[in-house]
Chain A
């Protein structure tokens, strides 16, 4: 494994039981939320993950931190396979890998004030006097742009943007190396989004953080990421340096996705590729290439053979038979 890789994912699968049994009630049906992912995240970079609702972005992020148990596969963090860790060792790992949630309203306990929301992390992990703890909380609040007097307040007394800052402070409390950010700005207004995105970039530089940044906002992802991966129905269809990906997308799905971004400049009108139909169910994904039912270029081969994710040059990876 090369030195600058921080996280490596190999053949990650997460299948959820549906509760419905299959035809004739013989086998339980499963939702193949994530179905065989391979990718790496380099030290200090931001890897963006995009894709339509239900394609498995959150599930991937959660499985990487074992917030949900993967069905199969390996997650190597600094070369150690975290799938084999016992509960006790997992706790140590949580110091290094943290999670920022999408919903700034639901992810903070309404009965706790800011001091205990942020201070909680230290309680579990570090022997610290109350005074030391308080100092650290103050330091963190300053870091995310909140004021010292905010420690005594409760979540409902803050705006969405401020709550997201509290969530970020909590995630950074234990000085993690790696943070999974699941739609951290999606619930915020455009003008507040920009404040939080800037803050996350600034903190990344200051604290040498590595991010997995999940979002369905293709503009925000382009801005914050170094590389971007595109998921479709539980699989990675393309992953590349962001400049490459946005300037010259290779996979037919990525092309359609990028062409669908409404441009805030009325003078710029891109040629739009309109996809037909809807995303199929992850319970019965199409055979062969999962995208074939909506792909304008699909052939017979696409229904039979699963296209592998392969390097088409300079680390630009694409899963399509015709690239």
Chain B
């Protein structure tokens, strides 16, 4: 299978007044052509920072990629100059941001904004670009694209703006699409439309997709693989069916159980007690240990490694030798 993205040992830290935030602290994953990787986890666990790191858009100087490799089609992005990155962004790798209104420019028409990308990366003339923009708007299911192309973002509904964002992100037929909570701000009926659209595009264009979301339902619908993050690290990674049928990490198990099940009636929901640790005061050992029902002494002293079990990876001492792993 053709590997589009390979992230190895990525560490992205923020140096702030309160201390060092190890927002992404050793993340590894790969993504193949035409596949969708869902990234889930609690607020603040490092999903967006991982995405921004791949785009090389981490806000400097506070934020810095301190270690690791990001291979895009075998090419290390961390060795690229800013100019080289500008050629890649919006062209070979595109990102859809969480809030569509902040990432569309209010003073330009929708067409202008898509045209800009096409002219920059594909060297099209305005006329060619406009035709292509209309085609893209049609592709993402916007009615009357010939008319909409001349409208401003505020004239569109939230769902339509999100479609425009997708159209713009796909205009140059990128090999990798990073979507950070692309449907969180949308209603379920509109979300359903957008998810259908993303599934369809992945099949038709073979785009590899990194999909960040906090909604496990969304992941189950569209992703092939899931990566669960907790406090800056990957705690579990595997095929969607595997993880939903047989979650291994206690955090993933707790997360799945705490979603109310529509087809079942229970008096009380299962919960994960406690809170995510403060990013500036990470516990020694497994970062989930303070909330984990199964925590053993070793869990409070050593960091479990991400271990394999037939393609399904998990970072937990319940599945491996607790005498291994890093101290502290």
Contacts and interface: CB of A to CB of B under 8 A. Distances in A.
Interface of A: 52-53, 159-161, 189-195, 197-198, 201-202, 216, 218-220, 222-223, 246, 256-257, 259-268, 272, 274-275, 277-279
A177 to B, nearest CB: 23
B271 A222 contact: no
A260 B271 contact: no
B179 interface: no
B190 A278 contact: yes
Most buried by A among B214, B256, B263: B263
B272 A265 contact: no
A52 B268 contact: no
Contacts of A265: 220, 244
Contact of A189 (B214, B260, B261): B214
B101 interface: no
A52 B191 CA distance: 11
Interface stretch (B71-79, B192-200, B202-210): B192-200
Nearest to B44: A189
A260 B191 contact: yes
Interface in B103-149: 143
Most buried by B among A194, A222, A257, A264: A264
Interface of B: 42-43, 143, 157-160, 187-193, 195-196, 214-218, 220-221, 240-241, 244-245, 254-256, 258-263, 266-273, 275-276
Given A190-B258, A262-B218, A268-B263, 9 more contacts: A53-B158, A194-B272, A218-B188, A219-B262, A220-B260, A257-B188, A264-B261, A265-B244, A274-B196
Contacts of A218: 188, 262
Given A197-B269, A260-B192, A266 B262 contact: no
A157 B188 CA distance: 33
Nearest to B196: A274
Contact of B259 (A246, A264, A272): A264
Contact of A190 (B196, B214, B245, B268): B214
Contact of A191 (B159, B196, B215, B255): B255
Given A261-B217, A262-B221, A194 B269 contact: yes
21 contacts: A52-B189, A159-B275, A190-B255, A191-B255, A191-B272, A192-B275, A193-B258, A194-B272, A198-B269, A202-B268, A218-B188, A219-B260, A223-B260, A259-B192, A262-B192, A262-B221, A267-B245, A275-B193, A278-B160, A278-B190, A279-B157
